[in-house]
Amino acid sequence: MCGRYASTRSDDDLSSLFDAVVRLGDPPEPSYNVAPTDPVRIVLDRDDDRQLRTVQWGLVPSWAKDKKIASRLINARSETVTEKPAFRKAAAKRRCLIPADGYYEWEKREGAKVPHFLHTDGVMAMAGLYELWPDPARDDDDPDKWFWSTTVLTTTATDTLGHIHDRSPVVVPDDLWSAWLDPGLTDLAGVSDLLESIPEPHLTPREVSTAVNSVRNNGPELVAPV
């Protein structure tokens, strides 16, 4: 799974990298310890534009009674994302990329959980879904009527990473970004085929300090090797 990650790139960097022409919402502060329910930047194609938008990490399906469900839907299994009611509609119509410097995973080792930071040479584009939830406490003409949220897709970890954890984020290579974001792709079978075509990422793991265990800690020292 993916329960913490780092995201420190500026909006200018992300807009240039992903060719985003529209920026929506206040950009979150750079973070070395992004946690569930935090505001995060996502990349999506909507209204004929490539957008950089701030949403909450933790999906709130449109049919949810309240936002409490978000903490349970920070990840979605790519193998079943086109089948599960919580994700099926978003998989067909609301796919996104979630930029990250890398993510953290904890290896079970002799009764302890040892944190690792897994990263690539550049920005990691994690496959995600986003949703819009109508807040019943707000009027229909309220600009904040629709609450935006996202989830990270996960897959079986590769052999080289499986010893750390059996799941890892789906990392979309840059030559498949446009295909993943394409709003014209609404056929769920096609979405499944696209997911299966995404190659295994080449990630570099390094053991880091247990300081990352606390969401109160946030700084570049969290990604430094121990």
The bridge status of strand 112-134 relative to strand 146-156 is antiparallel
The answer to whether 97 touches 128, Cβ cutoff 8 Å, is yes
2 labelled catalytic: yes
Q: Report DSSP letters for the chain, one per residue.
A: ----EEE---HHHHHHHHT--EEESPPPPPEEEE-TT-EEEEEEEETTEEEEEEEEES---TT-SSGGGGGG-SEEETTTTTTSTTTHHHHHH-EEEEEEEEEEEEEEETTEEEEEEEEEEEEEEEEEEEEEEE-TTS-TT-TTSEEEEEEEEEEEPPHHHHTT-SEEE-B--GGGHHHHH-TT---HHHHHHHHHHSPPP--EEEEB-GGGGSTT--SGGGGSB-
Q: Which amino acid is residue 55, in one-letter code?
A: V
Partners of 178 in the β-ladder: none
- Considering the candidates 83, 105, 107, 221, report the single residue annotated as catalytic: 105
- Considering the candidates 2, 79, 83, 200, report the single residue annotated as catalytic: 2
The answer to whether 14 touches 22, Cβ cutoff 8 Å, is no
105 labelled catalytic: yes
| Residues labelled catalytic | 2, 105
